[in-house]
Chains A and B, each alone.
Chain A
Amino acid sequence: MKELETLKKEFETNIKEIKTEREVDDIYLKYLGKRGIVNKLLAKLATLPSGDKKVAGTEINNLKKGIQRLIENKKLLLTTENIEIGDLTLPGIKPQIGHTHPITQMKKYAEDIFLTMGFEVVDSVEVDNDFNHFETLNFPKGHPARDMWDTFWTKEYLLPIAHTSTMQHRLLKTRKPPFRAIIPGKCFRHEATDTVHEHTFYQIEGMYVSKTASLAELIGVLESFVYTYYGYKIPYKIQPTYFPFVEPGLEMLVEHKLKNGQKKWLELIPAGMIHPNVFKMAGVDPNIYKGFAWAIGLDRLVMLKYGISDIRDFHKGDLRFLQQF
């Protein structure tokens, strides 16, 4: 068998060197001619025991077919061009191709997973008012939990959104349950920047509303997403946490393997069952409908995937960074 492998390599090297039709004829005779190498091999078959014979026979036949194909290709190349090919190792003249941003790529990947799960993809606003961003999400004015959001404010009392949940009220108002949707968006928080903190970041909000939505289904949906996203059954755990617009509120953590082989739990997806007050604000009866919602931080997913050490590279616009994607 090893013999066949060597023979194949030898042939491939030889045929690359060939520049004329005549040489093609020669190599044909050498390998596939009546007294050629392949026929000699076939002749040897008779001496083998019957089990081995079958295996070896197939392999030799495959080799023969491969050689035939390469010879035909070469012939075609030389006859159609009908010119002498000089140096085939000259580098190609490359077209310039661009690159999409790594967050664009990862967003598409995540969106496509949810699309196959029956979620529609809805666009988010970038600037919103207090009503959509806080009040309809069960944060009355002066609510202490507002502190957790570190929002920017404009003179008009508008705010660059600090979470894509700002779209929840609109979706509840405009869609007739049951519905399921994800909402990617650009978000902003008043935060000093360093290698792991950025005032501008990207989220994918998810919402599912039906008569039968439950915690078990919420965990099921998130589990399906992370298993698909990572491509294996990544270990995860669910912990309680607090957000005014969900009850119960929870957080999914996944096991992240550090470069030194250690494992660490990473907070990945805050989530929860939609709070009855959020339903009521949108005129949906919480005694009939239930739902769950979550937000995925895209930046972190991308950083983990590629081992990016500085989150600020995302907005720097440096091609040396971007052209790697």
Chain B
Amino acid sequence: MKISLDWVKDFTEINIEPQKLCELLSLKLSEVENFETTKSNDVVIEIENKALTHRGDCFSIEGIAREISAITKCSFNIPNYDLTKVSNRNPAININVESIKDCPRYTAVKITNIKLCPSPQEIQTRLINCGIRPINNIVDFTNYAMLETGQPLHAFDAKKLNKEGGYNLGVRRAREGENVETLDDVTRNLSKHSLIITNDDKPIALAGIMGGKDTEMDENTTEIILEAANFNNFVTRKSSRKLGLRTEASLRFEKNLDSNLTKRGIGKFIFLINKYNTGKVEGFNNFYPEKQTATVIETTLDFFNKNLGIVLKKEEVLDILSSLTFKASTEGDTLKITIPTFRRDVSIKEDLVEEIARIYGYENITPKLPSKSMGPTMLEPNLDFIRQVKELLKVLGYSEIYSYSFVGEDIYKNVGLSAKNMLEILNPISPQLMFIRDNLLPSMYEKVELNKNSFDNFKLFEIGKEIHKPETKNDLPQEIYTLCVAYYDKNQTDLETLYRKAKGDIETFIANFSDEDITLEPAVIKPNLVMYKINLEELHRNCLARGKEIKDISKYPPVIENISFYVKKKNRVGNIIKKIKAASSLITTVELEDTYKDEGDKSITLKIVYQDINKSLSDYEIAPIREQIIRLLEKGEELKVRK
């Protein structure tokens, strides 16, 4: 929002340099990025809107002047507009408001003897400095009064309104199927979300947003109906969003304006037509059934000091409040503070803490640290587990990637998955970011493809959440922490070796966290690439459940022997090893020592380690076990011992 300091000076003095003023406004109101000096020697500052979302009063020169006067401790004066002289003129304007919630106030003034022409130079200059294009005197006066007071105004060409039995203006929600052509030449299809102004029940304008083409002023205009109304902030916002139309007026109404402001808007407008002799007030009507009254907040000095964490004197607090034109009285320890109606953002005592803090200055509040009990604090166990997982994977040579939680059908197809049953985004940035992923594989596969261009071999991992659509309507999705790893080696053409290396990594990884014999199927096996996926929450449960028992070390030497078998295609080495292990408690380890092919026959050599905790083993004890193993395998697995 652009603010002309020359204009501000109509209401308060500015006794500091613009640079300093900008710094102070940033610290005490809202960020001011820069200022510029215009040709007319005015200084224009640009205030960021974001921090003023709740401050409807600050979308005006008067409001900013009030803030500057409080911040720089200067006097503040705005004119008082007396409408009693005009308010009893022949009404002849009927106002019919459907809901006072949507429209708490509607003031209309008829002005005649108008001649449209360019507005005076001083008016135009100030409008231009604040970023508004001058159009003609009446439009410029409405904009000028709006910028100064914060009250949006609209002028209808009175001759274009039906006036049998007086003007019949109405404010109501639009009906399905109705439409109105707005000043920007667009025909707007309306719905029950649009609040409209009607003439004899026919839509003529979008309330609080933009006027209609049918009642627009033109070179023949001689009389107008001036509207100064108050529209509900929620209704205006919804209507403006549904239509995709935001204007200076809707911007202000969305901020919850003071209903009493219509008087200031009209007052300023009439002041301008009188000053420049451009028209005559003829009729007036004011729909304002429930007057907005000032809020009174009762609190204590102690409350402020406790919330601020510093000790202020009562006088300091009262000074700050009165600089913001809040009225305060004291009864014993109680402070009674009357909030002006234009400060609709201030409704509870905590709001006043902010007023005091910012004007007193955050830089003047001495930082202090809360005291702390001696109790230990820690990470949630699953977060701690993830930290351990990441560190181990790093040591195993895996590098961590992050990828989006949003996915598209395309990358699912690449790994042969269908994108079904996922949470779907209604307003995605692109089709590639349309679903919330329930599987980490597709993104990982995408990253593997990318890195192939730069590296011959690499290992990647990602830890993320797989998110599953809730079963029933009001539930939240199930989010499961999952690990996905990829092992890529362009030069490893033997798929079995590649697979065993990747699997070895995973086995080492799992063994670090779990005693259980978890057999894991790879998720993807392609030439040069093996990928695994692990449910980390399950692994974490395993890890927590294990009661790792440390075994005593035997004082007696082990007996180690190799046995070779011819194996057939259907044999599973993993099963063979399991069976051997189960054969005797004296067998401590069974490892695959070697595999080789001999004229079409494949054979494997297993290294078997026997050891007893209490004594040295001799062939007397081992021979029966060996025979048992051979019997077991020859029978159960149809294997033949290779001699």
Contact = CB atoms under 8 A, between A and B. Distances in A.
B362 A290 contact: no
B321 interface: no
Nearest to A313: B402
A215 B425 contact: no
Contact of B401 (A213, A219, A317): A317
Contact of A99 (B380, B394, B428): B394
Given A145-B53, A158-B476, A319-B454, A199 B425 contact: no
Contacts of A320: 454
Interface in A85-130: 95-101, 103-104, 108, 111, 115, 117-123, 125-129
Contact of A148 (B27, B53, B351): B53
Interface stretch (A39-47, A58-66, A243-251): A243-251
A207 interface: no
A255 to B, nearest CB: 14
B309 interface: yes
B80 to A, nearest CB: 30
B309 A214 contact: yes
A10 interface: no
Q: Max chain A CB contacts within 10 Å: which of B362, B368, B447?
A: B362
Contacts of B26: 239
B178 interface: no
Nearest to B370: A217
B365 A100 contact: no
Given A154-B436, A248-B357, A273-B350, A315 B403 contact: yes
A273 B353 contact: yes
A97 to B, nearest CB: 6
B200 interface: no
A219 B365 contact: yes
Contact of A216 (B310, B391, B429): B310
B33 to A, nearest CB: 10
A210 to B, nearest CB: 7
Nearest to B354: A248
A186 interface: yes
Interface residues of A, number: 83
B414 interface: no
B309 A154 contact: no
B423 A220 contact: no
Contact of B365 (A115, A147, A148, A216): A216
Interface in B30-60: 30-31, 50-55
A249 B357 CA distance: 10
A31 interface: no
A303 interface: no
Interface string B511-527: 00000000000000000
A314 B380 contact: no
A98 B31 CA distance: 43
A98 B379 CA distance: 24
B255 interface: yes
B395 interface: yes
A49 to B, nearest CB: 55
Contacts of B470: 156
Contact of B348 (A156, A199, A212, A276): A276
B350 A247 contact: yes
B28 to A, nearest CB: 7
A242 B372 contact: no
* Chain B interface bracket (under 10, 10 to 19, 20 to 34, 35 or more): 35 or more
B486 to A, nearest CB: 10
Contacts of A214: 306-309
A108 B394 CA distance: 15
Contacts of B460: 317, 319
Interface string B397-413: 11111111110000000
Contacts of A125: 476, 479
A188 interface: yes
A296 to B, nearest CB: 16
Interface in B366-389: 366-370, 372-373, 375, 377-380, 382-383, 387
Nearest to B51: A241
Contact of B233 (A126, A144, A242): A144
Given A155-B426, A290-B307, A317-B451, A108 B387 contact: yes
A247 B394 contact: no
A221 B370 contact: yes
Contacts of B308: 214-216
Contact of B393 (A98, A200, A215, A315): A98
Interface of A: 95-101, 103-104, 108, 111, 115, 117-123, 125-129, 142-145, 147-148, 152-156, 158, 160, 180, 184, 186, 188, 190, 192-193, 199-200, 208, 210, 212-217, 219-221, 223-224, 237-242, 244, 247-250, 273, 275-276, 290, 314-320, 322-323
28 contacts: A101-B402, A123-B382, A126-B405, A126-B479, A127-B477, A160-B406, A160-B425, A180-B377, A192-B429, A193-B429, A215-B362, A220-B367, A220-B368, A223-B367, A224-B369, A237-B27, A238-B27, A238-B362, A239-B31, A239-B362, A240-B358, A241-B50, A242-B52, A317-B446, A318-B451, A318-B454, A319-B399, A319-B455
Interface of B: 26-31, 50-55, 233-234, 237-238, 254-255, 306-310, 348, 350-351, 353-354, 357-358, 362-363, 365-370, 372-373, 375, 377-380, 382-383, 387, 390-391, 393-406, 423-429, 433, 436, 443, 446-447, 450-451, 454-455, 458-461, 465, 467, 469-470, 473, 476-477, 479
Top 4 A-B pairs, shortest CB-CB distance: A216-B309, A214-B309, A248-B354, A317-B447
